[in-house]
Chains A and B, each alone.
Chain A
């Protein structure tokens, strides 16, 4: 990017945010039936319009810089929309096999994703055809296009394509099945089995969620009631904890002496990615890992980055890798929350920011959560204020106390009981807090508009100088977004 010495706001502070916004907008417009060039042009024009409207400080090369970012946004948008729209499934008969990298219930059947020799395939199996992640499956069958349900807004094709699946197979023959070798899926299965068998119920549920991204149904129900379901999904919070823990361990006396600063950064990066992949590679985990990786890289190169730019970089890289992520609700919520928190952090992290974070994240994510789930509990605002610091302690504490039980050391189960007690105490506290604010907010266009306004205003005030231009510009952008979408 073209540097702007002495100029530190807006486009110079987080240019990738505008790129991310443009690519996302283009993908949404592409979904509305616009061709890649038209969607790319409209999105990049919106990007340019926002830059020109909001930027109060305009040094000499400002306009050229805006044009450069806009052109890059157009190219990225064109590429992403083209990839989404020009996906085709080669129909025919396939005989392939490979490791099962995902297995889960899906409606009345079960689905597995097989990492075959010539691509990733989706297979729907009968419930009684039990296979596990990590096993090897060889199959023969016909490829069929992904299902598209006209009566539902859920895009099953995009869901699977975002996970790298190239086509669905209707298997008529499962030729062989045997235990797979050592690999990530096998490790996930072994760890899941170990946790299920050796830990008390609440600890088991929380560690399954934190380590493997697997949700315990009872816990998930409780967390939805408390408005803290994100704690059971591997998100930036979990990846951040893992990265912090890795850095802390690598900074301990002996390791610190043996490893150079860059060596420790590389080791921390390795641990970070190992955790994100072990946890199932959910979009929120990948986004957070990319973001933290960019920050670590910045430290290694001696450059301090902007939090907003780091989140945007992670978001844009995921979209360029697999543009179908844009339709994933998990990706959307994760990026929305991370962008908002980063925008708040751009203005400093004091107690006011900490207090404002929870209500603002609730409001900013409301349009999507209410549209998807029907209602959003208000208690989430209060419970989240307590939940984040509590779980920042509880997750590492429970993980450490569970090690003896997981390793089969006699008496380990009782040690894990200490963590269990704390989790039960948390559940009691969360129930109490929820009873203080027992209402839920169902879908309301007015609240959704307020949520979008809060999000846009937070981004605008995080990047641009507070003033009439920023406020008016953000309001205008909100109006344009509401009119266009």
Chain B
């Protein structure tokens, strides 16, 4: 009788279903009674990205298998995010303490390459948050090592400060309600795509009356808005 019961596929299915549910129930009881008993550690932990040279402050996102990126270390408030390209060993984005000079950034990027032109770089020049420093190579005249960035506002020719402009806003801020595509790209973290999105939003929806309106623009999230806060003029 017993053998017949279990050999019947219908009852066997039901038996396995009941057993499966029992396993779930037992697992649930174990989790309920034993969570937090052994190690006192908050849940939901996750580690950060695999190897990558930068940890940009603003990250809208990227779906499948994006090499992640919660910022590996909560940034201290007193630090600058700087970008260096050209004749250094490791061009990229670096975070340095406030008050750093160009030579600190060059050192952080692994030092000057043998064919970098040290005469064109004022290593003693002071830096500011969001600055882009380009170290020219010897004989370089805007050739292959150029990165498409707005014209340098400084007289040195290599110190590029994306967000600080004199023409489009007061106090160095960019007037997002009137700025051109090129001027918008001087904002930190704003490339051609986001600049275009800002223009499109402005055309379709009208002026930005509050900073929060910028969140409605594709590509601008809370983190990016935070980095733009000091560089945006809403007049």
Q: Does A214 contact B (CB under 8 A)?
A: yes
User: How many chain B residues touch the partner (CB < 8 A)?
Assistant: 97
Q: Does A346 contact B (CB under 8 A)?
A: no
Give chain A nearest CB distance to B125 CB in angstroms.
16
Q: Does B219 contact A (CB under 8 A)?
A: yes
* Complex Cα gap A41–B42 (Å): 21
Q: Are A337 and B65 in contact (CB under 8 A)?
A: yes
Q: Are B67 and A284 in contact (CB under 8 A)?
A: yes
Which B133-177 residues sit within 8 Å CB-CB of chain A?
A: 137, 144, 146-148
* Complex Cα gap A274–B200 (Å): 47
User: Which partner residue on chain A sits nearest B137 by CB separation?
Assistant: A197
Q: Are A34 and B34 in contact (CB under 8 A)?
A: yes
Contact among B13, B19, B51, B218 with A438 in the assembled complex (CB-CB below 8 Å): B218
Q: Does B110 contact A (CB under 8 A)?
A: yes
Contacts of B49 on A, CB cut-off 8 Å? 329-330
Contacts of B45 on A, CB cut-off 8 Å? 31, 153-155, 158, 327
Highest count of chain B CB atoms <10 Å: which of A49, A159, A376? A49
Which B6-56 residues sit within 8 Å CB-CB of chain A?
A: 9, 12-13, 16-17, 19-24, 26-28, 30-31, 34-56
How big is chain A's contact interface, by range?
35 or more
Chain B interface mostly helix, strand, loop or mixed?
Answer: loop
* Complex Cα gap A51–B17 (Å): 10
Contacts of A46 on B, CB cut-off 8 Å? 23-24, 27
Contacts of B94 on A, CB cut-off 8 Å? 105, 127
Chain A interface mostly helix, strand, loop or mixed?
Answer: helix
Q: Are A29 and B65 in contact (CB under 8 A)?
A: no
Give chain A nearest CB distance to B80 CB in angstroms.
9
User: Which partner residue on chain B sits nearest A151 by CB separation?
Assistant: B74
Q: Does A233 contact B (CB under 8 A)?
A: yes
Q: Are A105 and B53 in contact (CB under 8 A)?
A: yes
Contacts of A366 on B, CB cut-off 8 Å? 63
Contacts of B66 on A, CB cut-off 8 Å? 224, 229-230, 233, 333, 369, 373
A-B contact pairs, 21 of them (CB 8 A): A33-B36, A48-B23, A108-B97, A153-B70, A154-B70, A156-B48, A192-B90, A200-B144, A214-B52, A220-B54, A222-B193, A225-B219, A235-B67, A282-B50, A282-B67, A329-B48, A329-B70, A333-B66, A373-B68, A376-B63, A484-B28
